[in-house]
Every structure is written in structure tokens, then in C-alpha cells.
Amino acid sequence: MRSGSSRRRHKAARPFAVALALVLMGALYAVLSPATQVAADTGMSAQVAEGKGLFQVTCSSCHGLNGEGSSQGPSLIGVGAASVDFQMSTNRMPMARPGQQAPRRPVTYTAEEIAAIAAFVQSLGPGPAIPPSSAYDASNLDAEAIARGGELFRSNCSACHQAAASGGALPNGKYAPSLHGVEPLHIYEAMRTGPQQMPVFSAGAIPDEDVASIIGYLKELEQQPSAGFSLGGLGPVTEGFFGWVVGIGGLCLVAVWIASRGARAK
């Protein structure tokens, strides 16, 4: 009788003891492990996991479920976060149709989404990372450094992008885009990752301070009304407006023309 009741007490006590032990272990772990380290790790892997999810929805049709590539797109293992940031921040990726040059478009992804996908691709294999702004800061360059940037630009870049950096055609219907109005970060990333026909300019070939000089030169070029095509030096707002009116107006004319031809063909 006594032994029976004590066994019953025992049975009830066992799960309670296990739960208590778990709680104690959890508390002990929380106290002993460096809290910031845990937070950083879970934060990072959560970002990679989010990036993986986004990647598998948006990018895997061409780049494979794990970035291994397919007949529609190259492997992204080892291309690095900078390449993803460049491709997505200029919205070249996700590419609309495979097989041609991906054009620059207005961006539709948030900075967080791009950072998550970049972190996922970086986790596949290390490549050029997204640089801190100090790596390419061109705001305090003297005239000498900017002149050096001009020299570097003429010897390394103008063959494709033209002397005034206004862009130019390349063989097989490809083109080197205009560099006016491109963000300094994207100039840096383009040089380090070499999109499409553009060669990679590694830190060994052109160190960070020379990249900053080239950026300084390109930004100075934008200030000069004579560089590229200008509308009486009225600045980028009018140019943008002009481009908008001519571009959209032209598209409307083409649409009307096609419609009228279609009607005639019937």
C-alpha cells in the first residue's frame, strides 16, 4: 500500500523533474553562452534562409535550386554578394528572358530582399563581398587624384564605354551602357565582378583608391555640360523629362503605326 502510493508519486514526479532539468539546462546555456554571438548567428542564418527562399522562387528557374546553374543561366557558386547586389540593384536580375543582354531597369526588390539573396549566394561559395562605402569614397579627392582617374578611365574603360562615358555598341548586338548617373557602389561592384563582356578589374589590377579616382572622374564628367548630350546645360531633370517624352511619345507612335498596319493587313 505504501510502496504503491510512493510509486504513483514517483510516476507523477518524473515528467516534472525532466521539465525542470530542461528549464535549468536552458537557463544555464543562456547564461554560459555569449549572447551576442548567438543573436548574430541566428540573425545571419535567418537572412540566408530568407534569401534561399526568395532565390528558389525567383531565380532558380535559370540558376538552379542551389545556384548550381542550368542551361538557362550560369552557376552562381563563388560569384559573391557584390555580383548579386550589382545585378539586382540595377534590376538586371531576375532576367526577364534568357539569351540576351539583361538591361538596366527600375528596381522592384527591397534592399532587405536583395541583401538576403546576396547573403545566400555568398554562403554558396565566397566571392567579392559588398564593399563598405569607405572603400570607394570619392568625395574628398583632389584634382590630381581625379586627373589620375581620367587617365585610368581612358586606358581601361573608354574602349567600350567611350571617352565621355556615354556608352557604345559592342559586337553581336551587345552594348556597353552609359555610365552617367550610375551609383558609385555599382561602379565599384561592376569593376570587381565584370558583368557580361566587361572584364573583371581585381584589386590587384586596380586597387580601391584608384577605383575611387575613376568614380571621382566619372562624377566630374557628369558635372560638365559638354560631356555627352546636353540640353543647353539645363541639367538631369530636363534631360530625364526630355527622354521620357521622346521615349514614351516614340513608343506611342510605333504602337499607332503597328495598329494601322495590322488594320490594313486585314
Q: Which three cell numbers stand for residue 261?
A: 498596319
Which of residues 93 and 119 has its CB atom nearest to ligand HEC in the complex?
93
- CB of residue 176 to ligand HEC, shortest distance in Å: 4
What is the dihedral angle through the alpha carbons of 245, 250, 252, 258, rounded to the nearest 10 degrees?
A: 180
Q: Could you tell me if 140 and 92 are in contact, meaning their C-beta atoms sit under 8 angstroms apart?
A: no
Taking the least distance from each CB to ligand HEC, the nearer of 198 and 230 is 198
Q: How far, in Å, CA of 9 to CA of 1, rounded?
A: 13
What is the closest distance, in whole angstroms, from the C-beta atom of residue 204 to ligand HEC in the complex? Answer: 14
CB of residue 122 to ligand HEC, shortest distance in Å: 11
Q: Which residues contact 214 (CB under 8 A, 6 or more apart)?
A: 149, 152, 153, 157, 187, 191, 206
Chain residues in the site for ligand HEC (CB under 6 A): 58-59, 61-63, 72-74, 76, 79, 83-84, 87-88, 90, 92-95, 98, 101-102, 104, 117, 156-157, 159-161, 170, 174, 176-177, 179, 182, 186-187, 190-191, 193, 195-199, 201, 214
Choose between 42 and 139: whose C-beta lies nearer to ligand HEC. 139
Of 120, 112, 132, give the one whose Cα is nearest residue 189.
132
If the CB atoms of residues 47 and 90 are measured against ligand HEC, the closer one turns out to be 90
Q: Are 178 and 165 in contact (CB under 8 A)?
A: yes
Min separation Cβ 86 and ligand HEC, Å:
7
